[in-house]
């Protein structure tokens, strides 16, 4: 029994070390983009929205929709750009998002809730982009990337098993976090204390 417990303690410690290394490593431009999508999605999840991480899951086949955010009352089609402060979002990005939102509206259930386009960036918007957004009804938002939010996903499976998922796990972006026992935490120790174990491990 002692060896059984020790094996899981060592595994949990290794998972935490791997997470620490992941958080400290320099990110490529693509990784920064994914991190920003995840952060914006996390903000919505904490407000009770259902979030589809379309960009992270589908890559270049995302139709320009990084996030699809839903409630029973509204749907947001979201594009995110984590750029340097000195850069500007131009009007072409606004037009592309509006076109993507329109395509989504025309190819989905039109009897559902209203659909709105929302653009997030860590940079600024050109005057032309602001004008285009105002005319087209695209909402513009500014948000900095914060990497200190809780990233470990604690998820309850269909059969009631409790697993935690780290941000470099293969299916991380497909894992849904709903209200109730499911949550985000900062550390592996927090996840274990709540009764979760690493996805892919067996008792």
Of 112, 109, 54, which is closest to residue 78 (Cα–Cα)?
A: 54
What the chain holds in terms of domains, given with CATH numbers, is: 2-24+148-198 (no CATH), 29-142 (3.40.1350.10)
Distance of CA 149 to the CA centre of its chain: 12
Instruction: Give me the pLDDT at residue 7, please.
Output: 46
Res. 199 pLDDT band, cuts 50 70 90? confident
Q: Does the pLDDT value for residue 127 go beyond 70?
A: yes
The model's pTM is 0.89
End-to-end CA gap in the chain: 12
Q: What is the pLDDT of residues 15-55, one digit of tens each?
A: 999 999 999 999 999 999 999 999 999 999 999 999 999 99
What CA–CA distance (Å, rounded) separates 1 from 124? 58
Q: What is the pLDDT of residues 130-161, one digit of tens each?
A: 999 999 999 999 999 999 999 999 999 999 99
Instruction: Give me the pLDDT at residue 5, please.
Output: 40
Lowest mean pLDDT, pick from 91-95, 159-163, 175-179: 175-179
Instruction: Give me the pLDDT at residue 23, please.
Output: 94
Q: Which two tokens stand for residue 44?
A: 């919505």
Of 42, 39, 50, which is closest to residue 178 (Cα–Cα)?
A: 50
């Amino acid at each position: 029994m002692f060896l059984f417990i020790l094996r899981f303690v060592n595994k949990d410690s290794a998972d935490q070390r791997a997470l620490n290394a992941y958080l400290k490593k320099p990110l490529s431009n693509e990784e920064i983009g994914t991190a920003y999508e995840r952060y914006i999605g996390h903000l919505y999840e904490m407000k009770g929205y259902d979030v589809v991480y379309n960009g992270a899951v589908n890559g270049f086949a995302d139709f320009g929709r990084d996030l699809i955010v839903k409630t029973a009352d509204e749907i947001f089609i979201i594009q995110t750009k984590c750029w340097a402060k000195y850069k500007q979002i131009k009007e072409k990005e606004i037009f592309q998002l509006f076109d993507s939102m329109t395509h989504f509206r025309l190819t989905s259930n039109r009897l559902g809730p209203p659909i709105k386009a929302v653009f997030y960036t860590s940079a600024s918007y050109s005057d032309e982009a602001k004008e285009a957004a105002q005319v087209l009804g695209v909402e513009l938002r500014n948000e900095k990337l914060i990497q200190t939010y809780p990233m470990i996903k604690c998820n309850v499976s269909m059969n009631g098993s409790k697993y935690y998922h780290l941000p470099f796990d293969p299916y991380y972006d497909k894992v849904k976090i709903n209200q109730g026992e499911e949550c985000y935490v900062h550390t592996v120790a927090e996840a274990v204390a709540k009764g979760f174990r690493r996805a892919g491990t067996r008792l």
